[in-house]
Chain A
C-alpha cells in the first residue's frame, strides 16, 4: 500500500513537472522579438513624448553576416511604457529591451527634468540599468540615431563601444543610468551626462561624444566643453588615461603627455567655521610627443615641463570649478558628499542650503604632474646640418 502510494505520488509529480519544465511560461522565439539596441527621447511638436527606437534587424543579419541590419521606428505618446508597448502595433513583434545599450535624451527634455523619463528604465524588469546615457546637442535626439543610415552600423552599439573607449579621450564623463540615478538620490552631489552631437567636416557626418551636460537635481542647467570636461574629470578623480597638452616657453602647444595614472583627493577642511575644500592631484605621465627641436634637453628640462603642466592643470581645474560654481550652482564634483563623509555633524546643519554654500565655497587646488618616461626616444628630434 505504502509503496503504491509512493509510486503514484512520484508519477503524478513527474507528470506535473512534465507540464511545467519544458519551457518558460512566456517562451518567445528570437525571431518573434525586436531587439532594441538603443532609444532616443524627444519632445514631439504637440508636447507629447516621442520615442525613437533603433532595433537590430535579425533577418537581415542572417543573410549577410558582415553587416548588422537595423530598423528605426518612432512613435509619440504620453508615457514611455505606453509608447514601448504601442510600438508592437508597428513592428508586430514585442520589443526586447535587455540588450539596449544607449539612451539619448534631447536637450529640451533634459532641461525640463529627467526624472519622469528615467524611472521606467530603472524600474522595469526587462530593461537593464547599465545602459549608457547621453544628452543630445542636436535639436532632436533621434538625429544622432538616424546617423546609422550614413555610417551603416547599429548606432547604439557603436555609441556603447565609444563609451567603453572614452577613458582614452577623457573628454566626457561615462555615465550609466544607475550611476545617474544614484547621483540624483544622494545629497551633496549632482549628476552629469555626456553630450553627443553630429560632427560634420568635409562632408563626413559622424557622431561625436564631447562635453558634459551639468544637472541640478534632474534638470540640465548647462554645458561644459571637452577641455572643461577633462578638468572636471580630474577633479572627480575619474581620469585613468588621456592626454595632457603642455605649451612650451613661448606659449605654443608643443608637448603631449600621456596620462598613465592619476589620483585626486578631496579634503574638506574646517577653518574658523567655514568649510574649504582642498584638492590634491598627482598625475603620472609619459612624454609622448615633442613638437619642437632641441626641446626637452636644451631649452627646457623635464622638470620645467612637469611644472608647467602642473600649473596648467591646476588652473584648468580651478577655472572649471569656478565656472560651475558661478554659473550652474550644481555640485557635480561631489564636494558636498565629501563633507558629508568627513564631517557628518556639520553636514547636518548645512545640507539644506548646500547649493548656496557650494557657490561661495573656497577651493584650493594642488596639482602635480610627474613625467615618468619619455617613450622610446630620450631626446627631441635634432636637425642635422
Chain B
C-alpha cells in the first residue's frame, strides 16, 4: 500500500476538531472567573511559537513523523524510549478524552447506561476509521467540521437573548495571578495537545504546509473556544460556570426562544461527540504508528484494534469518579503534559537544528 497523504485542508480540519474536541463541553480552566477569555487569548498567542517549532520540525524532516525524527536524532535506544513516552501520551490522552465522553453521557445523557457502553461504541468507531486510514479520517473531519461549526454558530446566535453582560465586570477581578494560572491550563489543554499531530506529520505533503496548517487551525479553534467560553460566561456567570462539570450543556439548556425552541442541549451534544471522535481517532492513529515504529512492524494497522480496546478499558479505570477526573484535568494535567508538549519537542528541535547545521557545514566543506 502506498504512502498515505492528507491534503493541507483536511489536516487543518482534523487539527481544529482535535483542539476544540473536549473544550467545547468541558470548558477551559476557570480560576480567573470572568477573565478566562483573556487567558485563552494569551494561551493562543503563546501557542504560536510552539506551532512554529512543530512546523520547523516538519521542514527539517520532510515526510517524516515524530517517531522517525526521535529515532534519527536520539538513536535507536534513547529514540525508542522517547517514542514510548509519546505512545503513552497519545494513548493516555485518548483515554482521558474517551472518559470525558463517558462521564458526560453518564451524568447528563444516558444516566442508567454503564459508562463502558458509549465509550466502547465510540472506541470501535475510532478503531474502524483508523484502520481505514488517516485519509478517511481527513475526509470525514472535513465534512464533520462544517457541521460542528454550523451547530456551534447557530447555538451561539440563539443564546444571545440570554446574555447578561454584567457577568463580564469587573474585569480581572481575581488579578493577573489567576489569569496566568489559567493561561498555563488553557495552553496545555487544549492548544498544545496538538503535539499529537506531529505524529501524523508523515502523512503531510512534503512542502512546507505544516506551518500554515498548524497556525490556521490554532487560530480558528482559538476563536471557536473563545466564543464558546464567552457564551458560557455571559449566560451563566462566573460562579455558576465554576461549579459545573459541563457548562456548555447547561448554558445551551437555558436557551428558550418563545417557549418553543427549548431543550436543545441534547442536539448540541452531537457536536461534542463528533469532535471527540476525531480527537480519539488521531490519538489512536498516532499511538499505533508509534508501536509500529518501535517494534518495526510492517503496518500500524496490525495493532490498531488492540490499542483501541486498551484505550477503552483504560478509560474505564483511569479515574475513580468524575471529581477525580476534574481534579486531574485542571490541576495535574498542566504539569504532566508540559514535557510532552514543550520540553521534548524543544530538545528535539534544538538537536535537529544542530545536526542540520553540521550537515550543512560538511556539505559546504566537501563542496
Q: Which residues of A come within 8 Å of B, CB atoms?
A: 9, 13, 16-17, 20, 24-26, 125-126, 128-130, 164, 178, 181-182, 185-186, 337, 340-344, 347
**Which residues of the partner chain B approach A20 to less than 8 Å between Cβ atoms?**
117, 121
Closest to A345 in B: B170
**Which residues of the partner chain B approach A128 to less than 8 Å between Cβ atoms?**
253, 263
Contact A24 B169 (CB under 8 A): no
Contact A341 B111 (CB under 8 A): no
Given A16-B124, A125-B108: A182 in contact with B113 (beta carbons within 8 A): no
**Which residues of the partner chain B approach A186 to less than 8 Å between Cβ atoms?**
237, 239
Cβ-based interface call for B128 (8 A): yes
Given A178-B254, A185-B240, A344-B173: A26 in contact with B113 (beta carbons within 8 A): yes
Closest to A26 in B: B112
**Which residues of the partner chain A approach B320 to less than 8 Å between Cβ atoms?**
none
A-B contact count (CB 8 A): 57
- Taking the closest CB of chain B, its distance from the CB of A28, in whole angstroms, is 10
Cβ-based interface call for B298 (8 A): no
**Which residues of the partner chain B approach A337 to less than 8 Å between Cβ atoms?**
166
Closest to A28 in B: B112
**Which residues of the partner chain B approach A341 to less than 8 Å between Cβ atoms?**
166, 169-170
How long is the Cα–Cα vector from A125 to B243 in the complex, in angstroms? Answer: 15
Contact B170 A25 (CB under 8 A): no
- Taking the closest CB of chain B, its distance from the CB of A18, in whole angstroms, is 12
How long is the Cα–Cα vector from A9 to B113 in the complex, in angstroms? Answer: 25
- Taking the closest CB of chain B, its distance from the CB of A53, in whole angstroms, is 20
**Which residues of the partner chain A approach B259 to less than 8 Å between Cβ atoms?**
164
- Taking the closest CB of chain A, its distance from the CB of B174, in whole angstroms, is 10
Contact B170 A340 (CB under 8 A): yes
13 more CB-based (< 8 A) A-B contacts, given A13-B124, A24-B113, A130-B256? A9-B128, A20-B117, A25-B112, A26-B112, A125-B107, A125-B108, A128-B263, A130-B262, A178-B254, A182-B237, A341-B169, A343-B170, A344-B170
How long is the Cα–Cα vector from A108 to B74 in the complex, in angstroms? Answer: 73
Contact A17 B121 (CB under 8 A): yes
**Which residues of the partner chain B approach A126 to less than 8 Å between Cβ atoms?**
111
Contact A26 B117 (CB under 8 A): no
Which residues of B (162-211) have their CB < 8 Å from a CB of A? 166, 169-170, 173
How long is the Cα–Cα vector from A181 to B243 in the complex, in angstroms? Answer: 12
**Which residues of the partner chain B approach A347 to less than 8 Å between Cβ atoms?**
170
Closest to B118 in A: A20
**Which residues of the partner chain A approach B117 to less than 8 Å between Cβ atoms?**
20, 25
Contact B111 A26 (CB under 8 A): yes
How long is the Cα–Cα vector from A125 to B245 in the complex, in angstroms? Answer: 12
Contact A129 B253 (CB under 8 A): yes
How long is the Cα–Cα vector from A44 to B131 in the complex, in angstroms? Answer: 63
Contact B239 A185 (CB under 8 A): yes
How long is the Cα–Cα vector from A130 to B250 in the complex, in angstroms? Answer: 11
Q: Residues 237-253 of chain B: 1 if any A CB is under 8 Å from the residue's CB, otherwise 0?
A: 10110010000001001
Contact B173 A125 (CB under 8 A): no
Q: Residues 24-41 of chain B: 1 if any A CB is under 8 Å from the residue's CB, otherwise 0?
A: 000000000000000000
Q: Residues 220-239 of chain B: 1 if any A CB is under 8 Å from the residue's CB, otherwise 0?
A: 00000000000000000101
Q: Residues 2-29 of chain B: 1 if any A CB is under 8 Å from the residue's CB, otherwise 0?
A: 0000000000000000000000000000
Closest to B109 in A: A125
Closest to A348 in B: B173
Contact B254 A25 (CB under 8 A): no
Given A182-B239, A186-B237: A129 in contact with B250 (beta carbons within 8 A): yes
Cβ-based interface call for B154 (8 A): no
Which residues of B (112-156) have their CB < 8 Å from a CB of A? 112-114, 117, 121, 124, 128, 131
How long is the Cα–Cα vector from A344 to B173 in the complex, in angstroms? Answer: 7
**Which residues of the partner chain A approach B356 to less than 8 Å between Cβ atoms?**
none
**Which residues of the partner chain A approach B107 to less than 8 Å between Cβ atoms?**
125
How long is the Cα–Cα vector from A131 to B262 in the complex, in angstroms? Answer: 13
**Which residues of the partner chain B approach A178 to less than 8 Å between Cβ atoms?**
240, 254
The residue from B112, B113, B240, B254 contacting A130, defined by CB atoms under 8 A apart: B254
**Which residues of the partner chain A approach B108 to less than 8 Å between Cβ atoms?**
125
Contact A182 B111 (CB under 8 A): no
How long is the Cα–Cα vector from A347 to B124 in the complex, in angstroms? Answer: 54
How long is the Cα–Cα vector from A130 to B255 in the complex, in angstroms? Answer: 10
Contact A125 B124 (CB under 8 A): no
**Which residues of the partner chain B approach A17 to less than 8 Å between Cβ atoms?**
121
How long is the Cα–Cα vector from A342 to B250 in the complex, in angstroms? Answer: 28
Contact A25 B253 (CB under 8 A): no
Cβ-based interface call for B110 (8 A): yes
**Which residues of the partner chain B approach A181 to less than 8 Å between Cβ atoms?**
240
How long is the Cα–Cα vector from A71 to B253 in the complex, in angstroms? Answer: 29
- Taking the closest CB of chain A, its distance from the CB of B260, in whole angstroms, is 12
- Taking the closest CB of chain B, its distance from the CB of A141, in whole angstroms, is 25
A-B contact pairs, 19 of them (CB 8 A): A13-B128, A16-B121, A17-B121, A24-B110, A24-B112, A25-B110, A25-B112, A25-B113, A26-B110, A128-B253, A130-B262, A178-B254, A182-B240, A185-B240, A186-B239, A340-B170, A341-B166, A341-B170, A342-B169
**Which residues of the partner chain A approach B263 to less than 8 Å between Cβ atoms?**
128
How long is the Cα–Cα vector from A347 to B169 in the complex, in angstroms? Answer: 12
How long is the Cα–Cα vector from A25 to B106 in the complex, in angstroms? Answer: 11
- Taking the closest CB of chain B, its distance from the CB of A273, in whole angstroms, is 20
**Which residues of the partner chain A approach B170 to less than 8 Å between Cβ atoms?**
340-344, 347
- Taking the closest CB of chain A, its distance from the CB of B257, in whole angstroms, is 13
The residue from B111, B131, B166 contacting A125, defined by CB atoms under 8 A apart: B111
Closest to B259 in A: A164
How long is the Cα–Cα vector from A61 to B360 in the complex, in angstroms? Answer: 85
Identify which of B128, B239, B262 gathers the most chain A CB atoms within 10 Å of its CB. Answer: B239
- Taking the closest CB of chain A, its distance from the CB of B223, in whole angstroms, is 27
Identify which of A125, A126, A340 gathers the most chain B CB atoms within 10 Å of its CB. Answer: A125
- Taking the closest CB of chain A, its distance from the CB of B107, in whole angstroms, is 6
